[in-house]
């Protein structure tokens, strides 16, 4: 009936996938994300090379542009490669419902995200000024947020706005349980929306259960509004009345210097270890992790079905536990030659022949029993957008060893790796369907 080429770019730690469907009147091009982690050397040059290839391959036209979620390693390229990106005409833009300005929960999530991000940035700066090692760990997580400095232009919000502003493009804000119709552009292709869930609790659920882990190994709660207020006071440089302790219980530094008990026991150079001035900011580390995870859980997760009852391409963005678990509640009414039937997410997972591994193969972005173990297709191939040196520099265990081992078992070694190319090349039939170039790894699939 047709064919599809899935091209994974090799720009570093980030996602950029170009899907080209053949079989219609003309090739149908879908770009899913385009970014690289903040701090990647020569990021602009790398993303320009990727964008040049996208323009050349598509002839300057994208039928669909998908931005799965607002993280720098998924959207930075739209700002980092302005000249080639400007050459792309876009017919449709697909975003999650979380970008709907008329949705109350979406508005609440955006407001909470902005407030949490501002508080974490302020706390990280204060910890950095105090010489705390926690600052570096928080800054590493904030790299997913792009440029957060005063007057910053290269922001995730700016990149997402670039996507929304594509001239003449139809904007679709997708919700779980939808089936996206593409007309006759690609005969037989059906696209199903899995996530993100329209549920606050599921979006907040990023980690596996402690009693019975849903992932291959177990590796916070939200913060109090008082922390936000205190961090905001630091950020604004206002009189520090909004601190973790009420003024009644505090002693100002100038007053403490006049008292031998404090000046000798806490303010002396050799007694600095006794002070807890900045310990209350330690909650920022947990907040930064939660901010990162909550954003990942807003990922637009899509399943492309290659013909009724055919093989499936699964692109979950960086969906984490709550997003994956929500798929179990979904079903679609689909028309098939035998009649109308209910299609479930388990059906789609069972026929998944290409899995874009979530969040660079981190430990909590691929479910076990409710995810990979349901992918029983003998044709299963995994694509991992990972760059080990960058992950190691940040202290991240990517790809997660237990997950990678199981991926190798489930796929029979058919794994394409953005950093290393083909992890295994002993299957001649598999190698014949792949292409590894300087800038991309590509897999071709007939259907």
CA distance 385 to 14: 6
* Strands, sheet with 3-9, edge to edge from the N-terminal-most edge strand: 170-174, 89-96, 61-66, 28-34, 16-22, 3-9, 440-446, 434-436
* pLDDT at 330 exceeding the cut of 90: yes
Burial of 194 (0-12, 13-18, 19+ CB in 10 A): buried
Q: 3-105+153-219+292-446 belongs to which CATH class? A: alpha beta
Beta-strand (E) ranges in 23-109? 28-34, 61-66, 89-96
| pLDDT tens string 352-380 | 999 999 999 998 899 999 999 999 999 99
Q: Do the strands 339-344 and 331-336 form a parallel or antiparallel pair, or are they unpaired?
A: antiparallel
The model's pTM: 0.84
Angle at 137 between CA 210 and CA 233, to 5 degrees: 100
**What is the pLDDT averaged over residues 279-299?**
71
The predicted structure's pLDDT at residue 433: 92
Find the range with the poorest average confidence among 259-263, 305-309, 324-328, 436-440: 259-263
CA distance 279 to 204: 25
107 contact partners, CB below 8 Å, separation of at least 6? 101
At residue 161 the predicted structure's pLDDT band, cuts being 50, 70 and 90, is very high
The predicted structure's pLDDT at residue 222: 43
Which residue intervals of the chain bear CATH 3.60.15.10?
A: 3-105+153-219+292-446
* pLDDT at 272 exceeding the cut of 90: no
Q: Are 75 and 16 in contact (CB under 8 A)?
A: no
* Strands, sheet with 189-195, edge to edge from the N-terminal-most edge strand: 179-180, 189-195, 301-306, 312-315, 352-356, 381-384, 415-417, 421-422
| pLDDT tens string 8-22 | 999 999 999 999 999
The predicted structure's pLDDT at residue 250: 66
CA distance 77 to 183: 29
The predicted structure's pLDDT at residue 241: 45
Residue 255 phi, psi dihedral angles, 5° rounding:
-75, -35
Quick one: DSSP state of residue 245? Answer: S
Closest CA to 349 of 318, 305, 388: 305
| pLDDT tens string 16-52 | 999 999 988 899 999 999 999 999 999 999 999 999 9
CA distance 416 to 422: 5
CA distance 359 to 384: 9
**Mean pLDDT, the chain, as a whole number?**
86
Closest CA to 432 of 416, 415, 444, 447: 444
At residue 224 the predicted structure's pLDDT band, cuts being 50, 70 and 90, is very low
The predicted structure's pLDDT at residue 160: 95
- 260 C-beta neighbours (distance < 10 Å), count: 7
| pLDDT tens string 410-434 | 999 999 999 999 987 778 889 889 9
The predicted structure's pLDDT at residue 209: 64
Question: Between these two residues, 248 and 47, which has the higher pLDDT value?
Answer: 47
The predicted structure's pLDDT at residue 336: 78
| pLDDT tens string 108-144 | 988 888 877 777 777 777 777 767 777 777 777 777 7
The predicted structure's pLDDT at residue 110: 86
Residue 280 phi, psi dihedral angles, 5° rounding:
-65, -20
The predicted structure's pLDDT at residue 312: 98
């Amino acid at each position: 009936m047709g064919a599809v080429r899935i091209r994974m770019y090799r720009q570093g730690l980030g996602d950029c996938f170009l899907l080209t469907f053949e079989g219609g009147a003309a090739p149908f091009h879908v770009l899913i994300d385009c970014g690289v982690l903040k701090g990647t050397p020569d990021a602009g040059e790398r993303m320009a090379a990727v964008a040049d290839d996208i323009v050349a391959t598509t002839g300057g036209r994208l039928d669909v542009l998908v931005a799965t979620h607002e993280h720098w390693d998924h959207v930075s390229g739209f700002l980092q490669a302005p000249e080639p990106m400007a050459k792309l005409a876009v017919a449709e833009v697909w975003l999650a419902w979380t970008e709907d300005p008329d949705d109350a929960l979406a508005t609440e999530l955006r407001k909470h995200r902005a407030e949490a991000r501002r508080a974490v940035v302020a706390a990280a700066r204060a910890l950095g000024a105090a010489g705390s090692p926690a600052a570096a760990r928080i800054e590493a997580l904030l790299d997913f947020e792009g440029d957060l400095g005063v007057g910053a232009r290269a922001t995730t919000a700016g990149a997402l706005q670039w996507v929304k502003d594509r001239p003449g493009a139809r904007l679709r804000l997708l919700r779980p349980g939808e089936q996206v119709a593409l007309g006759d552009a690609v005969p037989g292709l059906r696209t199903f929306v899995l996530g993100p869930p329209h549920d606050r609790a599921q979006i907040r659920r990023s980690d596996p259960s402690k009693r019975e882990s849903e992932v291959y190994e177990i590796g916070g709660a939200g913060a109090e509004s008082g922390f936000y207020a205190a961090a905001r006071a630091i950020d604004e440089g206002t009189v520090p009345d909004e601190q973790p302790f009420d003024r009644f219980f505090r002693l100002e530094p100038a007053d403490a210097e006049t008292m031998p008990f404090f000046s000798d026991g806490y303010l002396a150079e050799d007694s600095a270890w006794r002070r807890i001035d900045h310990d209350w900011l330690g909650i920022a580390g947990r907040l930064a992790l939660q901010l990162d995870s909550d954003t990942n859980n807003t990922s637009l997760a899509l399943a492309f079905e290659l013909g009724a009852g055919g093989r499936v391409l699964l692109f979950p963005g960086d969906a984490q536990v709550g997003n994956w678990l929500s798929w179990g509640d979904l079903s679609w009414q689909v028309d098939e030659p035998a009649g109308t039937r209910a299609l479930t997410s388990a059906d789609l997972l069972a026929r998944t022949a290409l899995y874009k591994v979530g969040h660079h193969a981190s430990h909590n972005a691929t479910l076990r029993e409710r995810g990979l173990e349901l992918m029983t297709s003998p044709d299963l191939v995994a694509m991992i957008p990972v760059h080990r040196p960058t992950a190691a520099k940040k202290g991240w265990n990517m790809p997660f060893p237990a997950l990678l081992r199981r991926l190798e078992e489930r796929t029979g070694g058919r794994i394409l790796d953005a950093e290393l190319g083909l992890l295994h090349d002993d299957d001649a039939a598999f190698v014949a369907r792949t292409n590894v170039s300087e800038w991309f790894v590509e897999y071709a699939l007939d259907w």
